[in-house]
A and B are shown apart, each in its own frame.
Chain A
Amino acid sequence: MTQTQAQSPPPSSSGPSPLLQVRDLHVEFHTRDGVADAVNGVSFGVEAGETLAVLGESGSGKSVTAQAVMGILDIPPGRITGGEILFEGRDLLKTPAEERRRIRGARMAMIFQDALSSLNPVLSVGYQLGEMFRVHRGTSRKESRIKAVELMERVRIPAARARANDYPHQFSGGMRQRIMIAMALALEPQLIIADEPTTALDVTVQAQVMGLLADLQREYRMGLILITHDLGVVADVADRIAVMYAGRIVETAPVGELYRAPAHPYTKGLLDSIPRLDQKGQQLNAIKGLPPSLLRIPSGCSFHPRCPVARAVCRADEPPLYEVGTGRASACHFWKELLDGQ
């Protein structure tokens, strides 16, 4: 496949071997209506201390990619049909399950959107945080409790010592998400994957949690993969953005350049279609049509039925991920015209 050739090594991994390197990942789902191609040849890398935002709508494959990396994909119905996930140089897909389990939590951790359902309702928050140390490190009960309180302080939960005895439902949404962050941080992992961490939160709380996550990431020099559908949220936290559409990365770029001059019509369409708080009387140029069903991804460029600049070639040939600048790539046949036009 031309796509993979163009991608390895991805433009971003110019430095030493990155913390996480995903190569040509393919994931499919078996549903009652047929096989859904959720991830179709995704490649990306994340370095230590770097924040990569994976941006996409529902069905773009962003969460499935994250689950595949974490090793928490539901198999079946899901199935990884190809690719490599290199974490610190070793292929996780070839790692035995028992060892992957040890890596999970200790060396890579995940933060979910819905903190309430991710926490056990019948155990106190302090106990659940302490469990991380007891299970992975064999720390004593007493000591793991002290560490749990420390963690809660680190994620700025007021009156942490007293609140460690509280149960998840006694915390507000923002506080619960902080606890999830604390849990992810517990064993100081090298990589954190956050799947829509602030989507369920109110704007003012969202700002608090996002700020906290960014601070902690800097402090621990972790790699952070931020999965989101919100172009606004990632603008000031991400270093790099990968835009996903129908199971593929269609554009990847350093954050500033992506917003200034998108090199893929889908990215451009997204930017033109969201209203901006700081602009008045703006026109919303909606992207036409709907994201495709993963059961029937359009031929050629999967975006062509919705694309304002699509031509015959887009229907026939799937565009590879062209390198369009330093650390930038776009899967559009006409990226040059797109960039020149801006």
Chain B
Amino acid sequence: MVERAPESPSAPEDPPAVTGEAGGAAADLASFEGELLETPLAPQEPAPGKARSLWSDAWHDLRRNPVFIVSGLLILFLVVVSVWPSLIATRNPLSCQLNKSLDPASPGHWFGYDTQGCDVYTRVVYGARTSVTVGICSTLGVALAGSALGGLAGFFGGWWDSLLSRLTDIFFGIPIMLGGLVFLSMTGSRSVWTVVAFIVLLGWPQIARIARGSVISAKQNDYVQAARALGAGNARMLVRHIMPNAVAPVIVTATIALGTYIALEATLSYLGVGLQPPTVSWGADISDASQGMQFRNAPHILLYPAAALSLTVLAFIMLGDAVRDALDPKLR
């Protein structure tokens, strides 16, 4: 390896010995200037620095984004609470004392009691589990079903694509609220999983459309053609080249959708077609609170579950926004 002495001035009669870049290329620049080698036998000094994938770039951006930090911490807290609610709530959400119905806040019961005489604080804490479960499971289901169906339609095209597009249109035509009222009211007992199944059933077309679009645009990139010219099969092209480049919009949409699914579950529960007791749900609690305008006398029974719900939905939507900003290729 020929050492290039950066300090030695190159004489004009020795054109190949170009003075090297002083100090080597700083690798943390957007386009680092590793000097080109005209003479293959004289590779220059390796520039110091790390490899940066687009994902690590995105993570680098996210870490510095205050929106991400705030929403991330909030979501982390929510997840922890929904897995171990007893960490911060020692009472049983289902053991209620009717004689305390609508009692205001008191020491040890900071959020007061609801109509049934249950501790609002405990119920709000336990409600997080329902919301987080519905949100995460629906989103996973929607993302998997949607990106599989949409991705394959986009990749293979043809009649499969036409069929799927029409099917997507049909599902899009169903108003989700009306669908919920009709579909869920027909089911007898409704668990968290019934609601998740319903959301996946009506939610997948949204992701399918996005997955299809981004697969089609990834498919047109020259590197997919290059892989084909090398003799790569469909599986390799999908897994190696198309999916990694098509997944970003799916992730962004799914993250934002997660918040809306939580809100959707609450709305369905509020309308009485969502979760049923004994499942603790913010939506059901809000519904109970608004029965007979009781919240006029005891606003705390509406305020706390509603605030928890809003905060949760907001956190996921903010997270989605932050993720979108970090993954947006236009900023790269």
Do chains A and B interact in one complex? yes
Interface set of A (CB-CB < 8 Å, partner B): 31-34, 286, 288-290, 292-293, 295-296, 298-299, 304-315, 334, 337
* CB closest residue in chain A, given B14: A308
Cβ contacts A to B, 10 pairs, < 8 Å: A289-B33, A289-B36, A290-B35, A293-B30, A295-B30, A299-B22, A310-B18, A311-B10, A312-B9, A315-B19
B2 CB → nearest A CB, Å: 14
At the interface, yes or no: B229 with Cβ under 8 Å from chain A? no
A113 CB → nearest B CB, Å: 20
What chain B residues lie within 8 Å of A290 (beta carbons)? 33, 35-36
Q: B29–A295 contact, CB under 8 A?
A: yes
At the interface, yes or no: B173 with Cβ under 8 Å from chain A? no
**Whole-angstrom distance between the alpha carbons of A337 and B12 in the complex?**
11
Q: B33–A33 contact, CB under 8 A?
A: no
Given contacts A33-B28, A293-B29, A310-B10, contact A305 B20 (CB under 8 A): yes
Which B residues between 1 and 30 are near A, CB-CB below 8 angstroms? 9-12, 15, 18-22, 26, 28-30
Interface set of B (CB-CB < 8 Å, partner A): 9-12, 15, 18-22, 26, 28-33, 35-36, 38, 331
The 7 closest A-B pairs by CB, nearest first: A312-B9, A308-B15, A309-B12, A311-B9, A33-B30, A289-B35, A288-B18
What chain A residues lie within 8 Å of B331 (beta carbons)? 32
B56 CB → nearest A CB, Å: 15
**Whole-angstrom distance between the alpha carbons of A296 and B19 in the complex?**
16
**Whole-angstrom distance between the alpha carbons of A322 and B31 in the complex?**
32
What chain B residues lie within 8 Å of A314 (beta carbons)? 9
Q: A296–B18 contact, CB under 8 A?
A: no
Q: B29–A308 contact, CB under 8 A?
A: no
What chain B residues lie within 8 Å of A32 (beta carbons)? 30, 331
Q: B18–A33 contact, CB under 8 A?
A: no
Contact of B11 among A34, A292, A311, A315 (CB under 8 A): A311
**Whole-angstrom distance between the alpha carbons of A71 and B12 in the complex?**
42
B57 CB → nearest A CB, Å: 10
What chain A residues lie within 8 Å of B26 (beta carbons)? 296
* CB closest residue in chain B, given A337: B12
Q: B9–A305 contact, CB under 8 A?
A: no
- Chain A CB within 10 Å, residue with most, of B15, B18, B28, B331: B18
7 further contact pairs, Cβ within 8 A, besides A289-B36, A305-B18, A305-B20: A33-B29, A289-B35, A293-B30, A295-B29, A296-B33, A298-B22, A308-B18
A61 CB → nearest B CB, Å: 16
Contact of A288 among B22, B31, B38 (CB under 8 A): B38
What chain A residues lie within 8 Å of B36 (beta carbons)? 288-290
What chain B residues lie within 8 Å of A288 (beta carbons)? 18, 35-36, 38
What chain A residues lie within 8 Å of B30 (beta carbons)? 31-33, 293, 295
Q: A305–B29 contact, CB under 8 A?
A: no
Q: B29–A296 contact, CB under 8 A?
A: yes
Q: A310–B28 contact, CB under 8 A?
A: no
**Whole-angstrom distance between the alpha carbons of A308 and B22 in the complex?**
17
Q: A293–B12 contact, CB under 8 A?
A: no
* CB closest residue in chain B, given A59: B31
Q: B33–A292 contact, CB under 8 A?
A: yes
B257 CB → nearest A CB, Å: 28
**Whole-angstrom distance between the alpha carbons of A34 and B32 in the complex?**
13
B189 CB → nearest A CB, Å: 53
**Whole-angstrom distance between the alpha carbons of A286 and B18 in the complex?**
13
B60 CB → nearest A CB, Å: 10
What chain B residues lie within 8 Å of A296 (beta carbons)? 26, 29, 33
A34 CB → nearest B CB, Å: 8
* CB closest residue in chain A, given B331: A32
What chain A residues lie within 8 Å of B29 (beta carbons)? 33-34, 293, 295-296
